[in-house]
Every structure is written in C-alpha cells, then in structure tokens.
Structure 1
C-alpha cells in the first residue's frame, strides 16, 4: 500500500471486470474463448466476445465484396449460434455474463477499438495460425505493443 500523498489504495477492483476475447472461428480462437470464459467465471467478470468481419478493400467487382460481406455475416451468425447453444447448455453449471459483438474492418484495429469502447481490463486472443503473421506481426503481438491492456495469447 502506497503512503504517497494523493495516492489511495483501490478497494474492490482486484481482477478484471470485463474481459474481451477475439474470435474468428479458428481452433486457436475457440480455445481462447474457452480460456476467457473460464477466467470470466472465476473472476466473476463480464465476457465480451468480439468477431471482426473482414472487409474486402479495393475490390473492383462489387459482387465479390458483397459475397465477402455475406460470408462474414454467415460466419458471425454461426459463431453466435454455437456460443449461445454452448452457454445455454452450461447455464446451470457455470454462470457467465457475456455479450457477442460483431464489427467490420481490420481485426487489429477493431479489436483494439472494441476493448477501448467496452473498457476492457484484459484481452484474450488465440495464437495466429497464419504464416504471414510471422513477417507482418500477429494481432496478438500488435495488441501487446499497443500496451493498453494485459493480453493473453492462447495457443
């Protein structure tokens, strides 16, 4: 406990109040959601699941961009349904407060924006399964470099 003037010990806020977990349907992101759900349950925190729908930028053919948007919406609906079914089947065993958010755009930017808007205390993501992220940097590495929240990367 600090005795510096103007600094007080903060009571009642140990542990996260809101955990943001990014998901994209990959195996590692689903493991990240399971880990975040367990953490939220143990900490009595709210779990905010964020799916970022990719946007096809610079597409000359509007129909392709429309198909990409429709595909992203279908994935979001499928993920929401799968998580709702799982949460419903476990509601009597584990009581977890959770929300599902769908955003569109760059996954890193949108996940960071969601964590900021939702006042996240922690962010949980799955380890990248893409080879190109070893060169350009994964979403997890970029979130860590941003340095605004503790970031847990689940393999």
Structure 2
C-alpha cells in the first residue's frame, strides 16, 4: 500500500470516528432532554418555570466526591435545585441544612436516576449539562465571589 493509500485509509477512519462521536453526542443530548422533560412533568417540579435560569444538581450519596460537592453547595450563596439520592435520614438532615436550596428526593421522581452532574439553564434559554459537578460548583462559586467583590469596588466610587 502506497502513501496515498495510507492517507486515504486514515481519512476514512477519521470520518468514521467523527461520525461515531456525533452519534454519541446526539444520543446524550436526547437522553438529557428526556430526563429534563420527565423532571418538569413530575409533581415535584410543578413550581419551576422552564423559562427562568436555574441550576439543577443531581447528587448521589454513594459518589466518591460527595463530601467536596456538599462543602461547595453549603458554601455557595446561590439557590440551587438539588436532586439528592441518599438514605432517608441524610435527606432529612440535608433538608434542614440546605434551607436556601430546593431539595428533592430522587426516589420520589419515580425513576432510577443514575445521573450525577449539573443541568444549567442560562438567561438566553440554553441548557447545558456538566458531568463534573465539583469543577462546575468551584468555578461558579469563585465567579460569584469575584462579581460581588467587583460590585463592592464600583459601588464605593
């Protein structure tokens, strides 16, 4: 096989891999859209307006980084919607600790949610899924902290 044959072969393989990646991304988007539609159709989410910006955190107690995410949620000042999959005693305890947040028991949604991540809806209506909740919350909290300091700086002048 000559040089042109090898290059042609590599280009074909590259196109096939790109097509597979696009199919996987499309399937993920469809799955996330289905989960969100199911959530907004459930009784627990009847009060949430789909057109208002929100952040929904799916959190599992069995997760390896539950403690770090818990600390970031407790430290943050913004209101979140938290879908928590945990034992009943922990859910009750977190309901008392996280009073500023809306806490929803994942068992009440009627489906097994194996999602751990964050759905965020912007003011423009774009919904994004973040698979690394710790990184998102760390960035989000530092961004809010920076904006509040910036606001204080300009309000002094």
For Structure 1 versus Structure 2, the TM-score category normalised by the shorter chain is: 0.3 to 0.5
Greater C-alpha radius of gyration:
2
Greater helix fraction, Structure 1 or Structure 2? 2
TM-score, reference length from structure 2: 0.34
